[in-house]
Structure 1
Amino acid sequence: MEIKPGGNIALKVPRHRWTETVAFYRDRVGLPVLRELPESTAFAFGTMTLWVDRVERQSQTDVWLELTAEDPGAALAHLQSPLRDELEPLGTVDGHWTSDPAGVVLLLRRG
Protein backbone atom coordinates (compact mmCIF):
# COMPACT_ATOMS: atom_id res chain seq x y z
CA MET A 1 0.00 0.00 0.00
CA GLU A 2 1.59 3.24 -1.14
CA ILE A 3 0.33 6.47 0.44
CA LYS A 4 1.86 9.78 -0.65
CA PRO A 5 1.57 13.43 0.35
CA GLY A 6 -0.98 15.35 -1.68
CA GLY A 7 -0.62 18.87 -3.00
CA ASN A 8 -2.63 20.75 -0.36
CA ILE A 9 -2.35 21.90 3.23
CA ALA A 10 -5.27 23.76 4.82
CA LEU A 11 -5.28 26.04 7.83
CA LYS A 12 -8.82 26.19 9.22
CA VAL A 13 -8.76 29.60 10.94
CA PRO A 14 -11.41 31.15 13.24
CA ARG A 15 -13.27 34.04 11.63
CA HIS A 16 -11.77 36.61 14.04
CA ARG A 17 -8.18 35.60 13.07
CA TRP A 18 -8.63 35.06 9.32
CA THR A 19 -7.84 38.52 7.91
CA GLU A 20 -4.64 38.91 9.93
CA THR A 21 -3.56 35.35 9.11
CA VAL A 22 -3.99 35.92 5.37
CA ALA A 23 -2.07 39.19 5.66
CA PHE A 24 0.72 37.44 7.59
CA TYR A 25 1.35 34.84 4.87
CA ARG A 26 0.89 37.37 2.04
CA ASP A 27 2.70 40.43 3.43
CA ARG A 28 5.21 39.18 6.00
CA VAL A 29 6.12 35.73 4.70
CA GLY A 30 5.70 36.90 1.10
CA LEU A 31 3.93 33.83 -0.29
CA PRO A 32 2.42 34.39 -3.74
CA VAL A 33 -1.39 34.37 -3.79
CA LEU A 34 -2.74 31.76 -6.20
CA ARG A 35 -6.45 32.23 -5.64
CA GLU A 36 -8.78 34.38 -3.54
CA LEU A 37 -12.29 33.28 -2.61
CA PRO A 38 -14.71 34.86 -0.11
CA GLU A 39 -13.87 32.24 2.54
CA SER A 40 -10.42 31.05 1.46
CA THR A 41 -7.08 32.26 0.12
CA ALA A 42 -4.61 29.91 -1.58
CA PHE A 43 -0.86 30.51 -1.51
CA ALA A 44 2.04 28.90 -3.34
CA PHE A 45 3.92 26.94 -0.65
CA GLY A 46 6.85 25.34 -2.44
CA THR A 47 5.40 22.51 -4.51
CA MET A 48 2.20 22.57 -2.46
CA THR A 49 -0.76 24.90 -2.05
CA LEU A 50 -1.45 26.38 1.38
CA TRP A 51 -5.14 27.19 1.85
CA VAL A 52 -6.13 29.59 4.62
CA ASP A 53 -9.84 28.93 5.17
CA ARG A 54 -12.15 31.08 7.30
CA VAL A 55 -14.33 28.97 9.62
CA GLU A 56 -17.30 30.74 11.20
CA ARG A 57 -17.77 28.59 14.28
CA GLN A 58 -14.30 27.63 15.40
CA SER A 59 -12.24 28.78 18.38
CA GLN A 60 -8.77 27.59 17.36
CA THR A 61 -6.79 26.94 14.20
CA ASP A 62 -6.56 23.40 12.80
CA VAL A 63 -4.15 22.05 10.20
CA TRP A 64 -5.60 19.67 7.60
CA LEU A 65 -3.35 17.62 5.30
CA GLU A 66 -3.89 15.77 2.03
CA LEU A 67 -2.70 12.24 1.27
CA THR A 68 -3.13 10.27 -1.95
CA ALA A 69 -3.45 6.57 -2.71
CA GLU A 70 -4.64 4.54 -5.70
CA ASP A 71 -7.43 3.01 -3.58
CA PRO A 72 -8.59 5.46 -0.88
CA GLY A 73 -10.86 2.88 0.76
CA ALA A 74 -8.07 0.31 1.07
CA ALA A 75 -5.70 3.02 2.33
CA LEU A 76 -8.24 4.02 4.99
CA ALA A 77 -8.42 0.39 6.15
CA HIS A 78 -4.60 0.13 6.08
CA LEU A 79 -4.24 3.24 8.25
CA GLN A 80 -6.91 1.93 10.64
CA SER A 81 -8.19 5.50 10.81
CA PRO A 82 -11.77 6.62 11.46
CA LEU A 83 -14.08 7.61 8.61
CA ARG A 84 -14.77 11.35 9.03
CA ASP A 85 -16.72 12.15 5.84
CA GLU A 86 -19.13 14.36 7.81
CA LEU A 87 -16.47 17.10 8.05
CA GLU A 88 -16.92 18.72 4.63
CA PRO A 89 -18.61 17.70 1.39
CA LEU A 90 -16.15 16.01 -0.98
CA GLY A 91 -18.12 16.80 -4.13
CA THR A 92 -16.49 14.97 -7.02
CA VAL A 93 -13.35 14.05 -5.07
CA ASP A 94 -12.84 10.27 -4.90
CA GLY A 95 -11.72 9.82 -1.33
CA HIS A 96 -12.49 10.13 2.36
CA TRP A 97 -11.90 12.42 5.28
CA THR A 98 -10.11 10.75 8.18
CA SER A 99 -7.75 11.74 10.99
CA ASP A 100 -4.50 10.64 12.57
CA PRO A 101 -4.22 9.59 16.25
CA ALA A 102 -3.50 13.22 17.28
CA GLY A 103 -6.70 14.40 15.58
CA VAL A 104 -5.11 16.05 12.51
CA VAL A 105 -7.70 15.87 9.72
CA LEU A 106 -6.54 14.09 6.58
CA LEU A 107 -8.08 14.11 3.12
CA LEU A 108 -7.25 10.69 1.70
CA ARG A 109 -8.01 10.89 -2.02
CA ARG A 110 -7.30 8.94 -5.17
CA GLY A 111 -4.06 10.06 -6.74
Structure 2
Amino acid sequence: MKAAFNPGKNIAIKTPAHEYAQVVHFYQEILGFKPLADNASDPFESVCFAFGDKVLWIDKITGLSQSEIWLEIISDDIAAAKKYLEQAGCHIRNEIEPLPDALNAFWLSSPANIIHLVTDK
Protein backbone atom coordinates (compact mmCIF):
# COMPACT_ATOMS: atom_id res chain seq x y z
CA MET A 1 0.00 0.00 0.00
CA LYS A 2 1.30 3.44 -0.90
CA ALA A 3 1.06 5.98 1.89
CA ALA A 4 -0.39 9.43 1.22
CA PHE A 5 1.95 12.42 1.44
CA ASN A 6 1.17 16.13 2.06
CA PRO A 7 3.29 19.20 2.77
CA GLY A 8 3.95 19.86 6.44
CA LYS A 9 3.90 23.23 8.18
CA ASN A 10 7.65 23.56 8.81
CA ILE A 11 10.53 24.79 6.65
CA ALA A 12 13.99 24.93 8.20
CA ILE A 13 17.01 26.83 7.03
CA LYS A 14 20.01 25.18 8.66
CA THR A 15 22.50 28.05 8.84
CA PRO A 16 26.25 28.05 9.54
CA ALA A 17 27.07 29.67 12.89
CA HIS A 18 29.08 32.46 11.21
CA GLU A 19 26.02 33.52 9.12
CA TYR A 20 23.25 32.97 11.68
CA ALA A 21 22.93 36.56 13.00
CA GLN A 22 22.85 37.99 9.47
CA VAL A 23 20.19 35.50 8.34
CA VAL A 24 17.98 36.25 11.37
CA HIS A 25 18.49 39.99 10.77
CA PHE A 26 17.47 39.57 7.11
CA TYR A 27 14.15 37.88 7.90
CA GLN A 28 13.31 39.94 10.99
CA GLU A 29 14.60 43.43 10.23
CA ILE A 30 14.85 43.67 6.46
CA LEU A 31 11.79 41.61 5.45
CA GLY A 32 9.87 42.39 8.65
CA PHE A 33 8.79 38.80 9.42
CA LYS A 34 7.37 38.37 12.91
CA PRO A 35 9.22 35.99 15.24
CA LEU A 36 7.08 33.29 16.83
CA ALA A 37 7.39 31.97 20.35
CA ASP A 38 9.86 29.11 20.54
CA ASN A 39 7.72 25.99 20.23
CA ALA A 40 10.28 23.19 20.40
CA SER A 41 13.27 22.19 22.44
CA ASP A 42 15.99 22.07 19.79
CA PRO A 43 19.54 21.15 20.75
CA PHE A 44 20.72 24.30 18.96
CA GLU A 45 19.82 27.98 18.81
CA SER A 46 16.91 28.80 16.51
CA VAL A 47 14.36 31.50 15.68
CA CYS A 48 10.94 30.80 14.16
CA PHE A 49 9.05 33.18 11.88
CA ALA A 50 5.50 33.19 10.52
CA PHE A 51 5.82 32.35 6.82
CA GLY A 52 2.28 32.41 5.44
CA ASP A 53 0.63 29.24 6.68
CA LYS A 54 4.09 27.74 7.37
CA VAL A 55 6.68 28.16 10.10
CA LEU A 56 10.16 29.17 8.94
CA TRP A 57 12.89 27.95 11.28
CA ILE A 58 16.35 29.52 11.20
CA ASP A 59 18.67 27.06 12.97
CA LYS A 60 22.25 27.87 13.98
CA ILE A 61 24.38 24.81 13.18
CA THR A 62 28.02 24.69 14.25
CA GLY A 63 30.33 23.10 11.68
CA LEU A 64 28.02 23.63 8.70
CA SER A 65 29.75 25.22 5.69
CA GLN A 66 26.66 26.47 3.82
CA SER A 67 22.95 26.84 4.43
CA GLU A 68 20.57 23.97 3.74
CA ILE A 69 16.79 23.95 3.29
CA TRP A 70 14.91 21.17 5.13
CA LEU A 71 11.21 20.49 4.52
CA GLU A 72 8.45 18.65 6.36
CA ILE A 73 6.14 16.06 4.79
CA ILE A 74 3.10 14.60 6.52
CA SER A 75 2.10 10.97 5.91
CA ASP A 76 -1.01 9.14 7.02
CA ASP A 77 0.97 5.95 7.71
CA ILE A 78 4.65 6.31 8.71
CA ALA A 79 5.47 2.60 8.51
CA ALA A 80 3.93 2.26 5.05
CA ALA A 81 5.58 5.53 3.95
CA LYS A 82 9.03 4.36 5.02
CA LYS A 83 8.60 0.96 3.34
CA TYR A 84 7.29 2.54 0.12
CA LEU A 85 10.11 5.09 -0.03
CA GLU A 86 12.79 2.48 0.63
CA GLN A 87 11.33 0.25 -2.10
CA ALA A 88 11.38 3.25 -4.44
CA GLY A 89 15.14 3.59 -3.86
CA CYS A 90 14.96 6.63 -1.59
CA HIS A 91 17.51 7.19 1.17
CA ILE A 92 16.37 7.20 4.80
CA ARG A 93 18.82 9.46 6.67
CA ASN A 94 18.08 9.08 10.39
CA GLU A 95 21.77 9.53 11.22
CA ILE A 96 21.78 13.24 10.34
CA GLU A 97 19.92 14.59 13.40
CA PRO A 98 18.40 12.89 16.44
CA LEU A 99 14.62 12.92 16.66
CA PRO A 100 12.67 12.98 19.94
CA ASP A 101 11.65 9.47 21.02
CA ALA A 102 7.99 10.51 21.12
CA LEU A 103 8.02 11.74 17.50
CA ASN A 104 6.78 9.17 14.98
CA ALA A 105 9.01 10.30 12.12
CA PHE A 106 12.13 9.74 10.04
CA TRP A 107 14.54 11.76 7.91
CA LEU A 108 14.52 11.34 4.13
CA SER A 109 16.88 12.69 1.46
CA SER A 110 15.58 13.63 -1.97
CA PRO A 111 17.71 12.89 -5.07
CA ALA A 112 18.87 16.53 -4.85
CA ASN A 113 19.97 15.96 -1.21
CA ILE A 114 17.17 18.09 0.26
CA ILE A 115 16.35 16.72 3.70
CA HIS A 116 12.71 16.02 4.55
CA LEU A 117 11.19 15.21 7.91
CA VAL A 118 8.47 12.65 7.25
CA THR A 119 6.03 12.61 10.15
CA ASP A 120 2.42 11.91 11.00
CA LYS A 121 1.80 15.28 12.71
Same fold (TM over 0.5): yes
* Aligned residue pair count: 111
- Number of the residue aligned with 1:95: 105
- Number of the residue aligned with 2:21: 19
The farther-off stretch of 37-46 and 21-30 is 37-46
Which of 16, 22, 37 aligns to 1:35? It is 37
Contact map agreement 1:15 1:56 (CA 8 A) in 2? yes
TM-score, normalized by length of structure 1?
Answer: 0.93
Q: Does 1:47 align with 2:56?
A: no
**Which amino acid in structure 1 is aligned with residue 4 of structure 2?**
E
Q: Which runs of 4+ in 1 moved over 3 A?
A: none
Contact map agreement 1:73 1:96 (CA 8 A) in 2? no
Any idea what SS the aligned residue of 1:107 has?
strand
Q: Does 1:62 align with 2:68?
A: yes
The farther-off stretch of 4-13 and 78-87 is 78-87
- Number of the residue aligned with 2:120: 110
Q: CA deviation at 1:17?
A: 0.3
Percent identity of the aligned residues? 37
- CA RMSD of superposed structures (Å): 1.5
Normalized per residue, the structure richer in strand is 1
Long gaps (5+) in structure 1? none
Contact map agreement 1:73 1:95 (CA 8 A) in 2? no
Q: CA deviation at 1:89?
A: 1.4
Which of 73, 77, 81 aligns to 2:83? It is 77
TM-score, normalized by length of structure 2?
Answer: 0.85
Contact map agreement 1:84 1:96 (CA 8 A) in 2? yes
Residues in 1 aligned to 2:16 and 2:34: alpha-carbon distance in whole angstroms: 22
